[in-house]
Amino acid sequence: MTARPGSADTALPTMTPTSPDPVAMPALPGAPYFHWRDGELWVEELPVAELARAHGTPLFVYSASAMRDAARAYQQALAGRDALVCYAMKANSTLAVLELFARAGCGFDIVSGGELERALRAGADPQRIVFSGVGKTRAEMRRALQVGIGCFNVESLAELDVLDAVARELGCRAPVSLRVNPDVDAQTHPYISTGLRDNKFGIPHEQALAAYQRAATLPGLQVVGIDCHIGSQITSVAPYLDALDRVLDLVEQVEAAGIALHHLDLGGGLGITYRDETPPAVQAWMAALLQRLDARGHGHRRLLFEPGRSLVGNAGICVTEVLYTKPGPAKSFLIVDAGMNDLPRPAMYEAYHAIVPVRPRAGTPELWDVVGPVCESGDWLGRDRALVTQAGDWLAVASAGAYCMSMASHYNTRGKAAEVLVSGARSQLIRAREVPSDLWRQERALALDVVTSTRA
């Protein structure tokens, strides 16, 4: 659907209920920021239907309060500690989202030169940026050194040597921590596990001491810390404690070898509820980690954390319109205007997202596969969902704040969706819907003298 006119920053009118007897609906992941009122779905103090009417669909809708409160939970859990929360911006790198976290006092965890530029554009303090990732280029290293980022999380011996050379060319020293792979099973999806021996991330635990000794000899490097990240969507405290113990063992070995470590970067990865997961509350999770740190005599150290999904995942939904209903003998399909290019997680991970009507209808639910318009059999958003709906209705795909827009593509020459941020009773369009001309803006028409016909 094309975008409808809408103010970039406006208070929207309230709507009347769809029926005198609203249909009872369960709480969504993302409650209380997304909630039911007068028989329909609201975000904070605005009805979602009015946002869809104003801006068109597919439409990502975010709660500013949900993001701020999530960041505050980390900061409060670390109160009294020398600590920095660095938002892992790969989860959602929209500029307004980054600005929100920068204003909330967060630093940033980046994994590319492009993310560095986005963070700087959003007003990030370079000293509060850590640069992770296994494949940093020389150009990315050079730019990061020139702006003065806080730390490089180095993931291989080869990277150590290249970063040393780049820093010496610039006449400076690169602050580094080594990302250590502790070989701990995070008990999560294999595609988002990062701390096992067969993952591509980090330096193997048994090689880490030698790597630190090597780093300490390189004149272009300044060793400042140690980093560990075991995966994403982790819903148990136990893997974190296992990893922390292995990291602290290594810290003690490294410092016994005469190399001082000023900070511990313990990564992110805390999960959220998509369906029935029960991840620990940030306060309880952090209390367990801090207790272990204190018990082992490391509570004085500066701490860095890199949450992503847990700050934004349940702060967003994607609103999509039902285009067609397609009953069938084996499967019945709801064809909607959002597809795998907008919401890649189901196609990539067979991930579950709750799907609910924005304005529920009374009636007997039927089972539907909710699928998009992309020309792939893997283009589905939800399978066997019990819904009462018809063409023209809006559906909300929950838990869409993380790894949706940031992973969106232009497949099938589909423009990226619009994004709206809501705070209280006000909304702001933070990304305009792309139109076709946006998609080929960087392309060039054919200018070469090439064969335009063939002979049999």
Residue ranges of the binding site for substrate: 309, 345, 349, 376, 403
Helix (H/G/I), strand (E/B), else coil: 270: strand
Round to whole Å and give the CA distance between 173 and 139: 16
- Please give the Cα distance from 224 to 264 (Å, whole number): 9
Q: Which residues, in sequence order, are CB contacts of 30 under 8 Å at separation 6+? A: 63, 66, 314, 315, 316, 317, 398, 399
Q: Please name the residue that has the structure tokens 């405290």.
A: 237
How many residues are given for the chain?
A: 456
Cα–chain center distance at 67: 12
Q: What tokens appear for 240 in the block?
A: 């974190």
Of the residues 151, 228, 375, 404, only one is catalytic, namely 375
Q: Say which residue the tokens 């997680």 belong to.
A: 345
CB neighbours of residue 401 within 10 Å = 30
Residue 318 is a catalytic residue: no
Rounded Cα gap, residues 266 and 365, in angstroms: 45
CA distances from 114 to 14, 118, 139, 410 (A): 40, 6, 11, 18
User: Per the annotation, where are the binding residues?
Assistant: 269, 306-309, 345, 349, 376, 403
Annotated binding site for pyridoxal 5'-phosphate: 269, 306-309, 403
Place of tokens 């999380």: 153
Report the largest interatomic distance among the alpha carbons of the chain, rounded to a whole angstrom: 81
At residue 353, what is the residue type?
Answer: H
CA distances from 259 to 26, 176, 264, 350 (A): 54, 12, 14, 44
Question: So which residues are the catalytic ones?
Answer: 375
